[in-house]
Amino acid sequence: MLLRILVLALLAVSALHAAPATSLFDGRTLAGWEGDLKWWRVQDGAITGGSTTEKVPKNSFLATTRSFQNFDLRLKLKLTGDPKTGMINSGVQIRSLRVPDHHEMSGYQVDAGDKWWGKLYDESRRNKVIAEPIDAAAADAAVKRDDWNDYRILAEGPRIRSWINGVPALDYTETDPAIALDGKVALQVHSGGMALVQFKDIAITELPPTPGAPTWDKVGHPKPRPPAKKKNAPPAAAPSAK
């Protein structure tokens, strides 16, 4: 109990000494970001991913070129698309790294999309939803469909929280000491449908790091994925008897 009080007190003091907010998007270019430029661009003053005329064939991520540990991230997100074409979904990766030589990111994803708002998915690692919204109905009601939504993500030590348009959506505390608490921020457009996702007003306030926190360098970076197995060729037909 005493240890918990001390940790909370340290976090409170750390918050008072946080660095000022830094913009991660200049409104014109993708400086400071890297990803597949077939699916990512700057359009109408926003980072834009996906397409309204072509289905996204595989998950695509635009990632920051630098890593962060504890932070308060704020951005605006707009997700549009026709569900009849496939899954219309996005999300914000945090404390993540790219899988080597692969399109995927490994790490936490704060989700966005119908029936997904406020969830926390562990992308290419545990491969499952690891936290449900605090109040799914309230989070869903807070969303402005086909319009801009304010998303706030606060990562402090093992605790991750989020808000959608000011409504508390997520409150998760990591208990696995082998999970890294640092990494890149990345924007996602999910595969499956003709989806368009846009981000703007992206700003991050870095908070002091947690002493002794597990990092990717300590727990090990994502491992390359084995190449997909090729289907066996059908056996050659036996020569016909004469």
Rounded-to-integer distance, Cα 109 and Cα 96, Å: 8
**Per-residue pLDDT, 233:** 46
Q: In what order do the strands lie in the sheet with 60-64?
A: 33-34, 60-64, 184-189, 90-98, 105-112, 120-123, 128-131
Q: d(Cα 29, Cα 48) in Å, to the nearest integer?
A: 11
Domains parsed from the chain with CATH numbers: 46-209 (2.60.120.560)
Per-residue model confidence (pLDDT) at position 225: 83
Q: Read off the pLDDT of residues 112-151 as tens digits, 9 standing for 90 and up.
A: 999 999 999 999 999 999 999 999 999 999 999 999 999 9
Mean pLDDT of the chain: 90
What is this structure's pTM? Answer: 0.86
Q: Report the distance separating Cα 25 and Cα 20, nearest Å.
A: 15
Instruction: Give the whole-angstrom CA distance, residue 79 versus residue 51.
Output: 11
pLDDT at residue 231 in the model: 45
Q: What is the pLDDT of residue 226?
A: 75
Residue 241 has pLDDT above 70, yes or no: no
List the structure tokens of 18: 């946080």
Burial 197-232 (b: 16+ CB within 10 A, else e): bbbbbbebbbbbebeeebbbeeeeebeeeeeeeeee
Q: Above 50 in pLDDT, residue 230?
A: no
Can you tell me whether residue 140 is helix, strand or coil? helix
